Each structure stands twice: as structure tokens, then as C-alpha cells.
Structure 1
Amino acid sequence: MNQEFEVSTRRTILTMLKTQGNLAVSEIAKQLGITEMAVRRHLNTLERDGLIDSRLVRQAMGRPTNLYFLTENADELFPKNYHNLTLDLLGELAAEAGELQVQLLFERRKDKMIGRFEEQMRGKPLADRVKALADIQNANGYMASWDTAEAGGYIINEHNCPISQVANQYNHACHCELLMFETLLDANVQRTECLVKGGLKCSYTIQDK
């Protein structure tokens, strides 16, 4: 059995659990037309990867059986339409109250994030603040890295933008991110490359004040 087929089979099992709910090994094997031993091998891999879990359920007759179900991690594998919903809501707000209200919404989000993370920065040298900010952005899906700059100071690179669809239409989101960086780092920050504007990454140079 080649690797591509095995990955496809595991994907099929995940889809079955998504659409049908909790399933036993026997039911999965019956639907796929493969042995229960083969199913268990796939389930072991999916469980190891944190995509499924199981619970023991007592039957009216016979021995208890394990039912398998998706974890929250697996939910991220399926299509999402969050950005379209967000854009629709922002569009409604702009039409109802004007573009200024949309900008104020991004400002409030920026202030909320500053309030959430500024304690992690307080009293630290700039290098530690840069590292902490990169960790924060990584946790939020930005695939961020940081390094020292040849000309002095530091660089933060973000290789992914989870809000790119929103930022494409509402550039104020990028402006607020830059202001957030400046406030949290208490430093001079300049964006030198931007994913939304066709760059390969979002890149920030950081100099102490």
C-alpha cells in the first residue's frame, strides 16, 4: 500500500467522522471495504497526530466498543469561510456607519491586543521584547521569525498573514499592526515589505529609540 493511498484513506476517515459523527472500527471498515486491522492502523496514526480521540461505549448486548471522533485540531483541516463573513460584516458596518467606524474597529482591536500583551514586554531589554513579540505572532498564525539586523537593531519577518483577505480590502488593519508593534516594543519600527502589497513576507526593521 503506497503512502499516497494511505494518506487518502486517512483523509476519507476524517471526512466520515466529520459527516457521520462517532463511528466504531467495524463501521469504518465496512464503509471503506478494508479490514478492521487496516482501519486500526490508520486510526492509530490519526490519534498519534492528535486529530481523533475515542471513548468506550457500553452496548445493550456484547462487549463495550470504542467510538472514534474528531478533536478540535482536526476541525482546522476542513474548509472555513471566516474571511468572507468578516468582510460581509465590515462591509455592512461601512455602509451603515461609514468607513471611519471600520477604522475605529481596527483601532479598538489594536488597543485590546496591546493591553493583553504589554505586561510580557515590561522591563525587558529590546531583544527579549522582539523575541516575545515574534512568539505572540507565531501563536496567532503569522509564522514569524526574528533576527539581528546587519545595520544594527532587529528584524521580524512574518511569512503568513491570517487576515490577508481582510487586509487586502481594509489597509488600516496593516497600519494598526505597525502601531501595535511600535507600542509593544517601545521602539522605532518600519515595515519594509508587505504580503498584502505583493511581498513574499511582511518584514519589520526595529531600532531602539
Structure 2
Amino acid sequence: MNQEHDASTRKVLLTMLKTQGPMTVNDMSKQLGITEMAVRRHLNTLEKDGLLETKLVRQAMGRPSHTYLLTAASDDLFPKKYQHLTLDLLGELAAVAGEEQVDQLFDRRKDRLIERYTDQTEGKPLPERIQALADIQNANGYMVEWEQPEEGMFVFREHNCPIAQVAQQYQHACSCELAMFRKLLDAEVERTECLAKGGARCTYIIHGNK
């Protein structure tokens, strides 16, 4: 219970700093109704997590005061609506230039990603290529796991899709991901389940012995 309460208090502190800007320990203590010592304990934890930093502010009179402010790393903790902006922009592009231009945009993105990641997979045995692809996708938020149920066959699962809402409307995004997998793995890859089409996850079957 104490851990839950501490976590809740830290969320409140982060929200205060997000909405009100840099604050002193005294300011936070008064707003939360807890001691400055308790506030500092929470701030120390948040600072160790890389979510806060301190800044020395000089006063016209008296001693300088330390204020706390959020770091760039804390930005990921707050809600984002990027998918709505992306869909709006893609919709405008389709209206002005046609759906084929949207498809070309996804194709160009696929080509850039292949160029960026080829060095991480090229020249490796297939299991190592699959692990490299899993590392790439995990770094991008796809929550990957994979297994080899039998010789020459691998199952690659993505439990999250950061672009699922975009892919639901623009299926070519999924086609590009499949093409990227085939190119980076240099293997036969089949998608058997897709989050953007209502599946519980994205599942790929990979065949190859190279």
C-alpha cells in the first residue's frame, strides 16, 4: 500500500511540474500538504530515474533557491495523440495527391528502415538475424518475442504495434513491414495474425535454414 501511495504522490508531483513549470520544494510541500522532507524523498527517486533536474535561481534578495523541472525523458510519461495528427496529415495528402502518394510515402519509409538496419542483420545466421530484428522492433516499442518450434521454422510475435491506428486505415503500412522483414531476414516470411486487422498480436512464420 505504501509503495502504491508513493507512486501516486510521484505522479502528482510530475503532473504539477508539467502544468505549473519549475517549482521549489517549499511550493510543492504547501500544495501537497506534506513535509518538505517527504517531498525531497520523492524528488530524489524521480531524479535518480532521470525524470527531474534542478536549477539554481538567484533571488533579488536572500539566498538562491533550487527549483525542480522536468527533463526531456519525462515527456514520454504523458499522453500523446500523435496518431491523430498522423492520420489527419495522411488524409490531407490522400485528398490532394491521391492514395498512391500515401503508399509511396510508406514505401520510402520502408526503404529507409532497410538501409538503416541492414548492417545489424547482414551476414549473420538466420537465428541471429531474427534476434537482431527483435532487438530493433523492441527498441521501437513492438514488444517482441520469438521461438523456434521446429528445425527451419521460427515464430515471431509482436504484442504491440505503435502504428496500429494508422495501419488500420492504411493497410499498405503492414505490407511494407512484411517486405522489410523479408529483406532484413533474407528468408520466407508469412504474416498469420495482425493487430491492425483485429488480431491479438502480429504473428509471423519464418522459414529458412540459411
**TM-score band w.r.t. shorter chain:** over 0.9
List per-residue Cα deviations over 1:25-55 (Å, max 9, x = no partner). 1111112121101111111221222221223
- Other structure's SS at 2:190 match: strand
- Provide the residue aligned with 1:206 in structure 2: 206
Give matches, 1:86-125, under 5 Å.
86-125=86-125
Matched, 1:6 2:6: yes
Aligned pairs, number: 209
Q: Give the Cα–Cα distance (whole angstroms) in 2 for the partners of residues 120 and 151 of structure 1.
A: 23
Q: Percent identity?
A: 65
1:28-39, aligned counterparts within 5 Å? 28-39=28-39
Runs (4 or more) in structure 1 with deviation over 4 Å come to: none
Residue of structure 1 equivalent to 2:137: 137
CA RMSD between the two structures: 1.6
1:152 aligns with 2:166: no
Unaligned runs of at least 5 residues, structure 2: none
Q: What does 1:33-112 align with in structure 2 at a 5 Å threshold?
A: 33-112=33-112
TM-score by length of 1: 0.93
**What does residue 182 of structure 2 align with?**
182
Letter in 2 for 1:26: N
Counterpart code for 1:97: A
CA distance in 1 between counterparts of 2:151 and 2:125 reads 19
Matched residues in 2 for 1:156 and 1:187: separation? 13
Q: CA deviation at 1:56?
A: 3.2
1:87, distance to aligned residue in structure 2 (A): 0.2
Q: Distance in 2 between matches of 1:49 and 1:203?
A: 34
